[in-house]
Amino acid sequence: MLRKLFFLMSLFLYSNGSESRLLFKFPTRDRVRKFFYCLDQYYKLMSHKHPYFFMITCDDNDKSMNSKEVRARLAKYENLEVYYGDSKSKIHACNRDMEWAPAYDILILVSDDMIPIKQNYDEIIVQEMLNNFPDYDGVLNFNGTVNGGNLNTLAILGRKFYERFNYIYHPIYKSFFCDLEMSIVSKILKKEAVIYNLIIEHQNPAFGKVKADRLFKKNHFYWHDDLKAFNKRLKKKFDFPLLSDSDHQLIKNLIGSEDNLK
């Protein structure tokens, strides 16, 4: 607890009140080597011009992330705290522990298959957020060069946008379709900016970048459950009281056809 208070105080002192504060939310499990490689890349390619804090979300029953060696290595990173607990699913881990988050302006959801590839990526994120949503009420979509911005797989949320829902991804999901809902909702709200600048690469087995590991295969068990969850959310119009014809067309363009989700 004392260490956590120290980090929160140091983050507060680091900010002069005029800089954008970055919060990196990083859930991980069973991938120690990938985790540290990814984490090191985030630190290595960061400009360090802006206040930042890494929230690492781990599970109590994950022996690989609970070893003395791992804990000792994590203790060497600046502005980083590990939060151990019980994640019910991949998406629960993404949303977990945000009540302990320090003050921030921009929230970046990190995963061990999201690898930074451009120097000063943090400066780019800050400038794009300020250019598009100076009040931090929006979402950045850096997938412009990947899929034309149709699907946002790298969640970068302004603080005010996060506070609208108080979750990163809708908690009904376990692994899949959560990013599709976020893409749809942010577009309907006209709170998404598509950026044609690949700064963080999604090295996912689904894209042929790397081989599927045990955890990736395990998460695939939730495909059908999450498909049902998405259809349920679709029928509820994602909690919007009314959708315009253009909104319906937007949804149709993103999913192709509702028949594709049956």
pLDDT at residue 4 above 80? no
CB atoms within 10 A of CB 108: 23
Span 74-79, mean pLDDT? Answer: 98
Confidence tier at 15 by pLDDT (50, 70, 90): low
Segment 162-191 mean pLDDT: 98
pLDDT at res. 6:
47
Q: What percent of the chain has pLDDT over 70?
A: 85
- Asked whether the predicted pLDDT for residue 187 surpasses 60, the reply is yes
For position 169, what pLDDT does the model report?
A: 99
CA dist., res. 255 & res. 201, Å (int): 23
Name the nearest CA neighbour of 42 among 92, 90, 77: 77
pLDDT, position 148: 87
Please give the share of the chain, as a percent, with pLDDT higher than 90. 80
pTM as predicted: 0.89
In order of 26, 27, 73, 86, 191, the CA distances from 112 in angstroms are 8, 8, 17, 19, 27
How far apart CA 68 and CA 260 sit, in angstroms, is 48
Nearest residue to 101 via CA among 168, 185, 41, 50: 168
The whole-number average pLDDT for the span 66-77 is: 97
**Is the Cβ–Cβ distance between 51 and 81 less than 8 Å?**
no
Q: Which two tokens stand for residue 192?
A: 């998404």
| Whether the predicted pLDDT of 257 surpasses 70 | no
Higher pLDDT, 129 or 12: 129
Cα radius of gyration (the chain): 18
pLDDT tier at 260, thresholds 50, 70, 90: very low
**Which of 13-27, 37-51, 120-134 shows the lowest mean pLDDT across its residues?**
13-27
Between strands 139-141 and 192-194, the pairing is parallel
- Contact criterion met (CB below 8 Å) for 130 and 20: yes
Q: Is residue 83's pLDDT more than 50? A: yes
Q: Which of 14-18, 99-103, 131-135 has the weakest average pLDDT?
A: 14-18
What is the C-alpha separation between 236 and 250, in angstroms, rounded? 16
> Which tens digits make up the pLDDT trace of 208-243?
555 555 655 565 678 999 999 999 999 999 999 999
Choice between 7 and 74, residue whose per-residue pLDDT is larger: 74
CATH number of the domain to which 161 belongs: 3.90.550.10
Residue range 62-82: average pLDDT? 97
Rounded to an integer, the average pLDDT of 92-98 is 98
Domain range for 96 is: 2-261
- Chain-centre distance of CA 108, in angstroms? 5
Number of domains in the chain: 1
